[in-house]
Amino acid sequence: MTTMDLHTLTGAYALHALADDERERFERHAADCEACAQEVRELTATAARLGLAVTTSPGPALKDQVMRRITTVRQEGPRTIPLTAPRRAGTRRVRRPARWALAAVLAAAAALGGTAAWQHERAQDAQEQARQAERRTNEVAAVLAAPDARSRTATLGDGASGTVVVSKSRDQAVFIASRMARPPSGKVYQLWFADAGSMRSAGLMDPGRTTEAVLMEGSVDGASGMGITVEPAGGSAEPTSDPVALLSFPA
């Protein structure tokens, strides 16, 4: 594969569409080719914005139907085979359930009652989580698709990049991370608004994801930029580490 061929792989690399050997060759090339590295950062941010802007969620009727079925579908109970008592000569065989079989049935009935309650609680939790995820996705998409949305991309090191998108009309900002290294165990990346010389918390990133779009918590409210720090799980009231990155908001 020639250098000219490698220059044409920026789009496929940004969409994670390369085979392992091609990806490794391109990464070695991009390490020495700033033009390709910059194009990959821009294409990654654009793909994330376009994908989130057209995200659709299933209608409430479909989700309600699924959640309702979860709480009403019964599990199959245990199957028991009745035992027969020894038969005396000249007597008819009488089938009677053994005591252990009756006890098993009673235990199964109690277990099914507990399982139904557990399933109902889990269904309610899942439904609430789905609502929250849908709300966050819609808010992110609204910022990215806003007519006055402006973005700025920066290199974060080790092949990672970050893009911040700001909408003045919505007074909101979204941070899009691409290929960020996972934080150390027990730590989390925390976002901050750089506001008049101080840092104001803007929420946490998912420590299990290396690429994601995060709606920054709170309004932009005149902030001039943002920062990222590594904090203990659950976040901190103020930064406790040096910034991983600092980005100025686009004008």
User: Is CATH 1.20.120 correct for 3-53?
Assistant: no
Q: Provide the residue-wise pLDDT of the chain in tens; the chain has 251 residues.
A: 666 577 778 777 777 777 888 888 888 888 888 878 777 777 777 666 666 555 555 666 666 666 666 666 665 555 555 545 555 555 555 455 455 555 655 555 555 555 555 455 655 666 666 666 677 778 888 888 888 998 888 888 788 888 899 999 999 999 988 888 899 999 999 999 998 889 999 999 998 888 888 899 999 988 999 999 999 999 999 999 999 989 999 87
What whole-number distance in Å separates Cα of residue 176 and Cα of residue 49? 9
What ranges do the domains of the chain cover?
3-53, 150-248
pTM of the model: 0.54
Alpha helix locations (H) across the chain? 3-7, 10-14, 20-30, 34-53, 60-72, 99-144
Report helix, strand or coil for 207.
coil
For residue 94, what pLDDT is reported? Answer: 46
Q: How many CB atoms lie within 10 A of CB 46?
A: 15
For residue 114, what pLDDT is reported? Answer: 57
Encode 71-137 in three state secondary structure.
HHCCCCCCCCCCCECCCCCCCCCCECCCHHHHHHHHHHHHHHHHHHHHHHHHHHHHHHHHHHHHHHH
What whole-number distance in Å separates Cα of residue 250 and Cα of residue 218? 18
